[in-house]
Amino acid sequence: MDIHNKTEEQVKFLRCIGEATRLRILKYIIDEEKCVTDIVNAVGKEQSLVSHHLKYLKDCNIVIARQKAQKTYYSLSHHRLAGIIIQSESLVKELPICQEKKCND
């Protein structure tokens, strides 16, 4: 129908969750809000990098931030997000992604 129905936004969303550090963050906060320091420890990346990714996720409305004193707690913005994450995870187990071909990892 129109030029970019909703595909652009869907792409933005999938890109958002389709990055290793961000996906780890999302999985870590999937059922309970967590503060940045805990997230940093969980994903094992630099604090500034984690903050950049959290900003990215927040700007895409995938997570919400709650300020409490000096700490900021992040959680998923929508319960259905957990569903997508879990379903794609289980799909990948069935789908032999890069099992046979010349994949470099």
Partner DNA sequence: CATTCATATGAATGATAATACATATTAATC
Partner DNA sequence: GATTAATATGTATTATCATTCATATGAATG
**Site residues, DNA (CB under 7 A):** 15, 19-22, 35-37, 40, 45-49, 51-56, 65, 69-73
The DSSP line for 90-104 is HHHHHTTTTSSS---
Query: 54 with 47: CB under 8 angstroms?
Result: no
Considering beta carbons, is residue 31 or 46 the nearer one to DNA? Answer: 46
- Which tokens hold the place of 27? 């999985």
* Binding residues for its own copies, total number by CB under 8 A: 45
CB of residue 71 to its own copies, shortest distance in Å: 23
Rounded Cα distance, 51 and 36, in Å: 7
Closer to its own copies by CB, 69 or 94: give it. Answer: 94
Select 6 or 68, whichever has its Cβ closest to DNA. Answer: 68
